[in-house]
Structure 1
Amino acid sequence: MTEPWSKFFWSDWEADHGLRLCSLAAQGLWMRMLCVCARHDPKGYLAINGHPLTVTDIARLAGVAETEAEILMEELGRNGVFSRNRTGVIYSRRMVKDEKRSKEGRKWKNLGLSQATENKGEKSAPARGATSGPSPHILEARSLEEKEICAAEASPSGKAAKSDLAEAWERFRRAYPRRDGSQDWPKAREIFDRAVKAGVDPKAIIGGAERYAADCRRRGDEGGKFVKQARSWLNGRLWEEYAGASAGGSSSAWAPAGIDWRGLVRNFRSSGNWPSSIGPGPDQSGCRAPPEILAEFGLTAGGETRGNA
Structure 2
Amino acid sequence: MTAQPWMKFYPRDWRGDQALRVVSLSARGLWIEMICIMHEATPYGHLMVGDQPLAESALARVVGASVEEIQAMLVELSAAGVLRRTRAGVIFSKRMTDDHKRSKEGRKAKVEALEKSGKNRQPSRCPSRPPTTQKPDARAKVEGPTGSSTLSEKTSFLGPKEVWLAFLASKDEAWCRSYIEPCGWQDVPERALIAPNSIALGNIDAALRSMRGNRPAALIGLSVVLKAKAA
Gap change, CA 1:45 and 1:141, over 3 Å in 2: closer
Q: Name the SS of the counterpart of 1:31 in structure 2.
A: helix
Matches within 5 A, 1:126-205: 135=137, 137-139=139-141, 144-146=146-148
Structure 1: where are the runs of 5+ without partners? 126-133, 148-309
Tell me which residue corresponds to 1:87.
88
Could you tell me how far 1:36 is from its partner in structure 2?
0.4
Structure 1 Cα separation of the partners of residues 24 and 55 of structure 2: 21
Structure 2 Cα separation of the partners of residues 64 and 36 of structure 1: 16
Structure 2: where are the runs of 5+ without partners? 126-135, 150-231
Could you tell me how far 1:78 is from its partner in structure 2?
1.2
Q: Deviations over 1:113-169 (max 9, x none)?
A: 22133124x3358xxxxxxxx94742369774116xxxxxxxxxxxxxxxxxxxxxx
Tell me which residue corresponds to 1:107.
108
Seq. identity, %: 38
Query: More helix per residue: 1 or 2?
Result: 1
Structure 2 Cα separation of the partners of residues 50 and 28 of structure 1: 25
Structure 1 Cα separation of the partners of residues 40 and 10 of structure 2: 18
Q: Which moved more, 1:83-92 or 1:96-105?
A: 83-92
Query: More strand per residue: 1 or 2?
Result: 2
Gap change, CA 1:46 and 1:68, over 3 Å in 2: same
- TM-score under structure 2 normalisation? 0.54
Structure 1 Cα separation of the partners of residues 69 and 6 of structure 2: 29
Number of residue pairs matched by the alignment: 138
Could you tell me how far 1:17 is from its partner in structure 2?
1.5
Tell me which residue corresponds to 2:51.
50
Tell me which residue corresponds to 1:188.
none
Q: Is the 8 A contact 1:101 1:144 kept in 2?
A: yes
Structure 2 Cα separation of the partners of residues 12 and 70 of structure 1: 26
Could you tell me how far 1:95 is from its partner in structure 2?
0.8
Matches within 5 A, 1:1-309: 1-120=2-121, 122-123=122-123, 135=137, 137-139=139-141, 144-146=146-148
Structure 1 Cα separation of the partners of residues 137 and 146 of structure 2: 16
Could you tell me how far 1:102 is from its partner in structure 2?
0.4
Letter aligned with residue 123 of structure 2: K
Gap change, CA 1:143 and 1:84, over 3 Å in 2: closer
Structure 1 Cα separation of the partners of residues 86 and 100 of structure 2: 16
Q: Name the SS of the counterpart of 1:138 in structure 2.
A: strand
Tell me which residue corresponds to 2:221.
none
Tell me which residue corresponds to 1:268.
none
Letter aligned with residue 147 of structure 2: E
Structure 1 Cα separation of the partners of residues 69 and 45 of structure 2: 24
Letter aligned with residue 55 of structure 1: E
Q: Is the 8 A contact 1:37 1:45 kept in 2?
A: yes
Could you tell me how far 1:42 is from its partner in structure 2?
2.8
Tell me which residue corresponds to 1:244.
none
